[in-house]
Amino acid sequence: MQPVLLKMSTLFVRTLRDDPADAEVPSHRLLARGGYIRRAAPGGFTWLPLGWRVLRNVERIVREEMDAMGAQEVHFPALLPREPYEATGRWTEYGDNVFRLKDRRGADFLLGPTHEEMFTLLVKDLYGSYKDLPVSLYQIQTKYRDEARPRAGLFRTREFVMKDSYSFDVDDAGLERSYAAHREAYTRVFERLGLEYVIVSATSGAMGGSRSEEFLTPTAIGEDTFVRSAGGYAANVEAVTTVVPESIPLKGLPAAHVEDTPDTPTIDTLVAVAVERFPDAGYTAAHTLKNVVVQLRHPDGTAQPLVIGLPGDRDVDTKRLEAQVAPAEVEPFTDFAAHPALVKGYIGPQVLGEESASGIRYLVDPRVVPGTRWITGANEPGKHVFDLAAGRDFTWDGVIEAAEVRAGDPAPDGSGPLELARGVEMGHVFALGRKYAEALDLKVLDENGKLVTVTMGSYGIGVSRAVAAIAESTHDELGLVWPRAVAPADVHVVATGKDAAVFEAALALSQELVAAGLTVLYDDRPKVSPGVKFKDAELLGMPTIVTVGRGLVDGVLELRDRATGEREEIPVDGAAAAVLAAVRG
């Protein structure tokens, strides 16, 4: 951006001493207190001048790296017609997560949550030959999603700024090259932003495609759980696959037997009875088969029950389950009266499955393999069956990865035990394949004159979210600590006291620094105490702070590095050169 002189006396900013009541996380508290953002509505924020400068700096870095990799920038409207989303099924699949509206003629529109359909149609409109490809297009634009529970400031909002890009190739080999180019560009973006990141395998979910990876910033306030091993495995918890045990021969296994187990509707009570009844068997919760009933709500509004069988020492991870059944949503199941085969607290797999009397689909955890023996419900109140053998005494309709992942579980690639961490998703890359091209009939003539369906990739970066992530990862107990690449100003010049000479020297230094190409925030407020000015400088977080005050009579100024706290006195003569050297390294 063009270097400018920003004066605190006229800058549209008001710093706050107290945290906003609705601020849950440090980034939200400090961005609001520092006058960077103001809440406009639940999940919506106004960007004030300093915050807008940070956001534009993040955009600039993203734009520079996208341009450098050969992508070309376009810009779509946020108000989009229904028809393209109807063609791909996402008008229905988005459910309540999208803002829908009608124009005065009754035509349906939505506020764009993402733009796969529009990019696909744009390329279809203009390109028709393999000679036109490959091409990568991107935009930086405001998106809209009707979040049920906006929270954590800029991390989870209803309106947000995102960079989304799309690659178009003739074949899968081209898609691999485009995917790799975007992945490399993302690493450069996050390194320039100063963000720690971990690249993890992820599920594609409703987006579709054969491959996807997330760029996560590790943080304790993150909503995403991911795993990693010392050997290099990393994945979003939703994408972790279970190491499947070997099947056990069925021949020679003991027969199943039903036991009276009154007052044992929970795993803990069941294990207590099992240990008392068979003290030498070594029973634990891992030997029990828990059958969890949920209801799937499909985008068309229909609902159906689903039962998940998993070892009793683990719970169903709702996020993992939702990733497996998307676009359906998971709801609690309560209508036991409509399904009398389900005896609450004592459900066993003998009555489950699409071919069973109940007709309820039954999916099991990968650890349930043929020959494994379980304690599980006998479908009668107060009774459980012991030594029920999988593959002999019961079957299932399929396998599902829905059980919680624990620290210490083996990595699926054999690289060691897993450790769990929290993170915030900053970027996501998808190898979409041909899902959207097929739905919208995007084809080109290949070199043999034959029509072929174009293959696509989709790549997103949360631009406004990056502002929060940087603030979250670089602040200290005093306030924000912006990396120089995104700071709203390079230098914060603070004039203290009432001596006119101090203000004259501070202004002259500020103007000299601007002439040299730096943006300067100059605290020229004449009636504000030095203590307040120092606290504001620490809160606002410019990377370099210069204090012009009592030392002026001795011919020195104070130069301070906001991140390290290091201070040094520099002579007034040549002060601009010293500041420039500090700024430019």
Return the HEC string of 2-26: CCCEEECCCCCCCCCCCCCCCCCCH
- How large a percentage of the chain has pLDDT more than 70? 99
- How large a percentage of the chain has pLDDT more than 90? 89
Q: Which whole number is the average pLDDT over 260-274?
A: 92
Residues composing the chain: 585
Sequence-distant (6+) residues with CB within 8 A of 540 are 15, 34, 35, 50, 479, 480, 492, 521
* pLDDT at residue 22 greater than cutoff 60: yes
Q: Measured in whole angstroms, how far is the alpha carbon of residue 210 from the centre of its chain? A: 19
**In whole angstroms, how far apart are CA 157 and each of 28, 164, 513, 578?**
12, 17, 38, 42
* pLDDT at residue 208 greater than cutoff 80: no
Helix axes 500-515, 575-584, angle to 10 degrees: 50
Q: Which whole number is the average pLDDT over 378-384?
A: 94
* Euclidean distance between CA atoms 216 and 202, whole angstroms: 11
SS3 309: strand
Tokens linked to 39: 């809440």
* pLDDT at residue 431 greater than cutoff 90: yes
Instruction: Write down the mean pLDDT value for the chain.
Output: 94
Q: Which whole number is the average pLDDT over 327-356?
A: 92
* Euclidean distance between CA atoms 420 and 87, whole angstroms: 39
* pLDDT at residue 300 greater than cutoff 90: no
Q: What was the pLDDT predicted at 155?
A: 93
* Euclidean distance between CA atoms 57 and 467, whole angstroms: 10
**In whole angstroms, how far apart are CA 543 and each of 484, 531, 565?**
6, 19, 10
Nearest to 203 by CA among 441, 402, 421, 33: 402
Tokens linked to 507: 């202004």
Tokens linked to 221: 């306030």
Segments in 160-291 forming alpha helices (H): 172-193, 267-277
* pLDDT at residue 187 greater than cutoff 90: yes
Q: Which whole number is the average pLDDT over 36-42?
A: 95
pTM, two decimal places: 0.90
- Predicted confidence band at 250 (pLDDT cuts at 50, 70, 90)? very high
- Predicted confidence band at 206 (pLDDT cuts at 50, 70, 90)? low
- Name the phi and psi angles at 430, rounded to 5: -125, 135
> Which range is least confidently modeled, 107-121, 318-332, 391-405, 461-475?
318-332
**In whole angstroms, how far apart are CA 244 and each of 15, 225, 401, 409, 574?**
56, 22, 11, 12, 69
